[in-house]
Amino acid sequence: MNEKIDIEVRKRKLTVELEGFTPLQVHEFARDVEERMLELEKKWNVFDTQKLGILVALELAAEVGRLKEAQDNDARVVERKLEEMTLALQSALAVSNK
């Protein structure tokens, strides 16, 4: 069972449960959300916390999307390198067996 953790973002207190994260990590997430909301508030001159929350969620979703894309690209590079190494090894073995 997950631990319930009390956090505060934009003077709103919440009790949350995030599976797989320590209370310290959850508090870090809350601080990150708070900081991003403040940045967007200044950047877009938006003071509605609901709109700011949506903007932060979109920013974070875009960041996750970029990370997934980078991870997929890395996986394709590794797969290609493994194929190249396998072909090189097969070729080397074929030469040595002659």
pLDDT digits (tens, 9 = 90+) for 6-52: 999 999 999 999 999 999 999 999 999 999 999 999 999 999 999 99
Residue 21's CB: how many other CB atoms inside 10 A? 16
Cα 26 to Cα 22: distance, rounded to the nearest angstrom: 6
pLDDT at 83: 96
- Which of 36, 26, 29 is closest to 5 using CA atoms? 26
pLDDT at 5: 97
What pLDDT digit, counting tens, does each position of 46-92 carry?
999 999 999 999 999 999 999 999 999 999 999 999 999 999 999 99
Evaluate if residue 1 carries a pLDDT over 90. Answer: no
Evaluate if residue 98 carries a pLDDT over 80. Answer: no
Radius of gyration of the chain (CA): 23
Q: How far from each other are the two terminal CA atoms of the chain, in whole angstroms?
A: 62
Higher pLDDT, 95 or 80: 80
Q: Whole-prediction pTM value?
A: 0.76
Cα 5 to Cα 79: distance, rounded to the nearest angstrom: 41
pLDDT at 96: 80
